[in-house]
Structure 1
Amino acid sequence: MATHENKIVVTRTIDAPTKDLFNVLTLPARHSEFDGSGMVRSDEKSQRIQSVGDVFVMNMHAEAMGDYQMHNHVTALAENKMVGWQPAIAEKPDDPAGWEWLYELNSIDSGTTEVTLTYDWSKVTHPKLLPLFPAVSEEQLEESLNQLAAAVADH
């Protein structure tokens, strides 16, 4: 686990095959199950993530902002290896604002996977957004991995 100037990286070993984790991560309908920040409420009828360039919409809630939507642009996808996306606000759905979520899956054996979650806001340049980062703490990211482990165990 490490916090850098513009990103936070956390890692956890989860007792699940990479394919099971990848299936949960690529289904936006399940994202609220592993959101340690508590901001993700539900997906907006999104399909399974299938390729870089896909966009999925999430219904969100934050104390300071109330209810809102994020349009997430898939930036990384390798089957059973990684999935990542950059959010864009509803007012500018085609223009990601510069932060990225990246889940990397490293198979240790057939039933165990090391999962690394990176929250990177190094490309955020908008002066009104910069003071908001990091919007999610290292502890919340660790909780996301704990919840991901529970979500994959439940199915």
Structure 2
Amino acid sequence: MTEEVQIVSASREIAAPPEAIFELIADPAQQPAWDGNDNLTEVVRGDRVRAVGDVFSMRVTNGKVRDNHVVAFEEGSLIAWRPASEGKDPAGHEWRWEIEPLPGGGSRVTHTYDWTELTDESRMERARATGEAQLQASLDRLAKVVQSAI
């Protein structure tokens, strides 16, 4: 039996400064424009993320609202959140973004999905279907959005 991969990552270089990229990720209102899972429709609550403990809520394509609890934050370089059903505790999976400046300009962006602690059976099928291709799609869309803005 093959062991199930529960931590998936993708990386790419983006020809933009870390601050410009981070601004798109940390502002929930911008996320539907670059979401490679085609799952987000709009921000419901929450402003630009500024610290661990912040919560922002997004409406997803099925009409439900997800509260995203920020669990890691370093301005300009790292942000991670754990989604939860509206008003509930996080379900045990995490979206993480790491941005590092490259010599001569540009940035390397790494996007990680970790569902090692996911216990909600209703989310398992989607978690299993989230692979490197979906993460890469978000990175590619993010690059397109940020590069058209600078």
The TM-score, its normalising length taken from structure 2, stands at 0.90
Task: Report the equivalent of 1:120.
Answer: 114
**Separation (CA, whole Å) in 1 of partners of 2:137 and 2:119:** 28
Secondary structure at 2:118 match in 1: coil
Q: Structure 1: 5+ residue runs without aligned partners?
A: none
- SS of the aligned residue for 1:67 comes to coil
How many residue pairs were aligned? 146
Residue in 2 that maps onto 1:137: 131
Cα offset for 1:80? 1.2
Following superposition, the deviation at residue 121 of structure 1 comes to 0.4
Unaligned ranges ≥5, structure 2? none
Q: Which amino acid aligns with 1:114?
A: R
Higher helix share: 2
Asked if structure 1 preserves the Cα contact closer than 8 Å seen for 2:82 and 2:91, the reply is: yes
CA contact (8 A) 2:26 2:79 kept: yes
Query: RMSD in angstroms over aligned alpha carbons?
Result: 1.5
Taking structure 1 as the reference length, the TM-score comes to 0.88
Q: Find the counterpart in structure 1 of residue 100 from structure 2.
A: 106
CA contact (8 A) 1:85 1:101 kept: yes
SS at match of 1:111: coil
Alpha-carbon shift at residue 150 of structure 1 (Å)? 1.0
* Native 8 Å contact 1:53 1:74 kept in 2: yes
User: Deviation string for 1:29-71 (max 9, x for gaps)?
Assistant: 000011011011111142110110000000101xxxx221100
The 3-state SS of whatever aligns with 1:77 is strand
Instruction: Choose from 42, 65, 71 the match for 1:69.
Output: 65
The residue that corresponds to 2:46 in the other structure is 46
How far the C-alpha of 1:132 sits from its partner, in A, is 3.9
1:120 counterpart letter in structure 2: D
8 A Cα contact 2:55 2:70, kept in partner: yes
Partner of 2:56: 56
- Structure with higher strand content: 1
Identity of aligned residues (%): 33
> Can you list the C-alpha shifts for 1:8-47, whole angstroms capped at 9, x where unaligned?
1000000000011111111000000110110111111421
Q: Structure 1 residues 132 and 33 mapped into 2: Cα distance closer, same or farther (>3 Å)? A: closer
